[in-house]
Structure 1
Amino acid sequence: MMGQKYLNTDMLCLAPVMANDEWQSPPPIPVVRDETATIRALLAEFAAVERDENTCCLLIIRPDATEGASRTSLMAAVGERFSRGLRPYDGLFAFGPDRYLISLPHIKPEDMATVMDRLRGQIADEPLQIEGSGEVSATVSIGGTMIDPSIPLQDNIERANQAFGEAWREGG
């Protein structure tokens, strides 16, 4: 399974910081350009669901800018914004050149739509600062699924990707 090429990945490790009993911005995020590390992280979440210790939501997200930012700059700005708004144990992974895969442990199926709306708002509610382009308005299309431990991890990712495709075609 490790040899299968189904994810192009950069894993962004997330870690908020506490100082004087107040939440501070997380430190700069180390980028791991290693498919094996991404698969390992997703397999750990899958195993926790399989052991009935947890639930986990997988989301596929594609940002779109309304004007003037390169795809690379847009992805970096959206990744930075998400990295500051996710919980320390969530996972944010590049999924090809223009999407993110986010793993969200401890999300209940009935809360998935609310979480997706919150993530949409993190991007749409405030312009992104993009070097060389200034302030850029952006939106995201999001689709996802809850991990189903009765099918392989790759099939769960494909289900999330199919849900994303449906959302993208419908404009959301």
Structure 2
Amino acid sequence: MAIDSLNLEDLRAAAAEIDRCAYNHEQWFDALIGTLICGLPPDKRDLCEDAHHRCRLGQWYFSGNEVTTALSKRPGFRELGMEHERMHTHTRKMLRAFADGEDIPHREYQAFISALKNLRMEIATLRQDIDDSLYAIDPLTGVPGRAHMLPRLREYQALVERGVQTCCLAMMDLDDFKVINDRFGHPAGDQVLVSFARHIGQNLRPYDAVFRYGGEEFLIILPDTTDSDGLAVIDRLCDALAQVPHLVGADDPVYVTASFGLAGLQVGIPVERSIDRADKALYAAKAAGKNCSVLWENSMNNDA
């Protein structure tokens, strides 16, 4: 799971935790300087071989929870851990020299400062990545918006070009959504969109991804999936969504369906063209009566 697959709540929690870790790290640094300059008692944890596991940042970094697992897929996360461990290694050496009444070697101090600067740079970069992802999240539905969609598709397109895996995408549009807005009001329509986004995530596989394409349209990426397998996945999703009750102010629950158009990523075909193919298949699904999924075929246009 990549960083852009984290939901809005997880991203905000990660940002808050990184801020806490950064604050605690500054407090730790102030205490370390107090030890080395003023002779204050050191934090005994800093003398342990696994000191980089014991501080607040280390506890979070090595927690292995869903958020840190997702963040570990981004470039630089491993380097953050390496610089953090290196900083604590040199801290331990400086504290031991200080405790033995020895001068701290200048090379040890320089290595510590280098690791400290690199660690702060990696923390700041990770925090910026999370801010960028938060900006790209659709604030209503909590799923990524179009800003992250094309980069993700191009990553899968590169794998398709290399013959590493197949990938299928699906364009989804809620059926008769204007009726919901007109009958119950736009807040009710927003409620339906939020519910749909949540249920899409619950009914897809862990490695699939959904993006809000615009309005009541969503785009779903199904990696490592053939066209026929993708159609089976989307058929199940289509059936599941049609059975979700929406309480939007009516006496009885309202049921909303969706139509889907699918197209596979193909060698030599730009992702924008694949999206267009999925969109044409979506129109075919609407024409076929809605609440169904249709796979793109050459006959739908002459761009094959």
Structure 1 position 55 matched with structure 2 position 166? yes
Q: Does 1:78 align with 2:179?
A: no
- Any unmatched runs of 5+ in structure 2? 8-133, 139-144, 291-304
State the SS of the aligned residue for 2:198.
helix
Q: Which residue of 2 aligns with 1:32?
A: 137
Question: Corresponding residue for 1:164?
Answer: 282
Larger-gyration structure (1/2): 2
The offset of 1:147, in angstroms, is 0.8
TM-score, length-normalised on structure 2? 0.43
In structure 1, the partner of 2:71 is none
Match of residue 25 from structure 1: none
Q: Is 1:63–1:74's contact at 8 Å kept on the other side of the alignment? A: no
Cα distance in 2, alignment partners of residues 129 and 53 from structure 1: 44
**Counterparts of 1:79 and 1:46, CA distance in 2:** 25
Q: Percent identity?
A: 28
Residues of 2 paired with 1:159 and 1:137: CA distance? 28
Other-structure match for 1:4: none
State the distance in 2 between where 1:127 and 1:12 align.
Answer: 26
TM-score normalized by structure 1?
Answer: 0.73
Look up the match of 1:151. Answer: 269
- CA drift at 1:129: 4.9
Q: CA RMSD in A?
A: 2.5
**Of 119, 125, 134, the match for 2:237:** 119
Given that 2:231 and 2:262 are in contact with CA atoms closer than 8 Å, whether structure 1 keeps it comes out as no
Matched letter for residue 59 of structure 1: A
Mapping for residues 1-20 of structure 1, pairs under 5 Å: 13=6
8 Å CA contact retained: 1:13, 1:91: no
The 3 A distance-change label for structure 1 pair 56 and 128 is: farther
- State the secondary structure of the residue aligned to 1:141: strand
Indicate conservation of the 8 Å contact 2:174/2:216, yes or no.
Answer: yes
- Aligned match of 1:43: 154
Tell me the SS of whatever aligns to 1:95.
strand
1:142 aligns with 2:260: yes
Query: What code does the residue aligned with 1:143 have?
Result: G
